[in-house]
């Protein structure tokens, strides 16, 4: 589902009281990106994998009942936390395919990239 009406239009509160690792929203609320099962925190834009699957003995995918999994590399966590602490700005880092449908994500990624240019020490090594 595209986010033509803003990233909060389809927000859903986390069941189980999950707390976002970056902005500490508790319970976190989510809005979907374009990658199956991936959503982002509506407060800070950090992506999480909400739907995960495992094949059963017959080779059929079974949905796992597991907590959200951070969908960024762990070495980016310090940079995202510091960015959040300094700016309180939405990053919109979920996977999107049609930028025109996610203006908040495009603007958030642009702001985060500008911040990274000003803070190169926060960028993890490739």
For residues 68-80, give the mean pLDDT.
Answer: 96
* Measured distance CA(100)–CA(104) in Å, rounded: 10
Task: Give residue-wise pLDDT tens across range 27-51.
Answer: 999 988 999 999 999 999 999 999 8
Q: Examine residue 101 and state whether it is found in any structural domain, yes or no.
A: yes
Q: Examine residue 4 and state whether it is found in any structural domain, yes or no.
A: no
Q: Examine residue 79 and state whether it is found in any structural domain, yes or no.
A: yes
Q: Range of 34's domain? A: 12-119
Average pLDDT taken over every residue of the chain = 88
pLDDT at residue 25 above 80? yes
pLDDT at residue 5 above 60? no
For residues 11-35, give the mean pLDDT.
Answer: 84
Q: Examine residue 7 and state whether it is found in any structural domain, yes or no.
A: no
Are 84 and 97 in contact by the 8 Å Cβ rule? The answer is: no
User: Based on the structure, what is the number of domains in the chain?
Assistant: 1
pTM over 0.85: no
For residues 106-118, give the mean pLDDT.
Answer: 97
pLDDT of residue 1: 41
In degrees to the nearest 10, what's the CA dihedral of 41, 42, 44, 50?
A: 10
pLDDT at residue 68 above 80? yes
């Amino acid at each position: 589902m595209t986010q033509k009406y803003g990233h909060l239009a389809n927000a859903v509160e986390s069941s189980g009281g999950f707390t976002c690792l970056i902005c500490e929203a508790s319970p976190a609320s989510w809005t979907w990106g374009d990658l199956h099962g991936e959503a982002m925190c509506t407060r800070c834009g950090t992506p999480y994998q909400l739907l995960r699957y495992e094949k059963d003995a017959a080779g059929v995918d079974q949905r796992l009942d597991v907590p959200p999994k951070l969908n960024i590399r762990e070495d980016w966590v310090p940079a995202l936390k510091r960015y959040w602490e300094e700016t309180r700005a939405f990053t919109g880092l979920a996977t999107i395919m049609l930028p025109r449908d996610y203006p908040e994500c495009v603007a958030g990624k642009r702001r985060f990239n500008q911040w990274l240019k000003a803070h190169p020490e926060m960028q993890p090594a490739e």
